[in-house]
Structure 1
Amino acid sequence: MTELLKQAISQIEKLSDVQLDAIATLILAQLQDEQKWDARFAETTDEQWDRMAAMVRQAIATGETRYI
């Protein structure tokens, strides 16, 4: 366990049960979201990455970079 996580847990332990449940809900949701993103990235094919890179290159070349 990292020192930063130890500090966070030390502070969290001082909270009420309601606050603890709220933090636990946030942490679990974040972990689930990370797992979903990891799975989506793992499923992305080289062809899809190549298409996205081409789109970015085109946007940069045409100056349409406000959404990149």
Structure 2
Amino acid sequence: MTQVELLKQHIVELDDDSFSKLRDWLIEFDQARWDKKLEADSNSGKLDFLINEALAEHKAGKTKDL
């Protein structure tokens, strides 16, 4: 049995309160991992193309004030 299968089996056996706490923790954990990945991608320059596209659109007059 894989770790994922074992975890699934244990999750199915949780009561409602425990499942709710696990779900909330997983959401927070997932968001923290996403934030770290986004920061790493930003720091490595992987997202620079987004900045460059936005600046090019602004220089071309394709943007408007908010």
Query: What range describes the TM-score normalised by the shorter chain of this pair?
Result: 0.5 to 0.7
Question: Secondary structure of the equivalent of 1:29?
Answer: helix
Aligned residues: 45
What percent of counterpart residues are identical?
A: 9
1:42 aligns with 2:33: no
Matches within 5 A, 1:1-68: 3-45=2-44
Deviating above 3 A after TM superposition, structure 1's stretches of 4 or more consecutive aligned residues are: none
Larger relative CO (CA 8 A, sep 6+): 1 or 2?
1
Paired letter, 1:37:
K
**1:28-64 deviation digits (Å, cap 9, x = unpaired):** 1111100000000011147xxxxxxxxxxxxxxxxxx
Gaps of 5+ in 1: 47-68
Distance 1:28 1:45 in 2: 26
Paired letter, 2:29:
Q
Distance 1:13 1:45 in 2: 40
TM-score (norm 2): 0.61
After TM superposition, give the deviation of residue 21 of structure 1 in Å.
Answer: 0.6
Gaps of 5+ in 2: 46-66
CA RMSD of aligned residues (A): 1.8
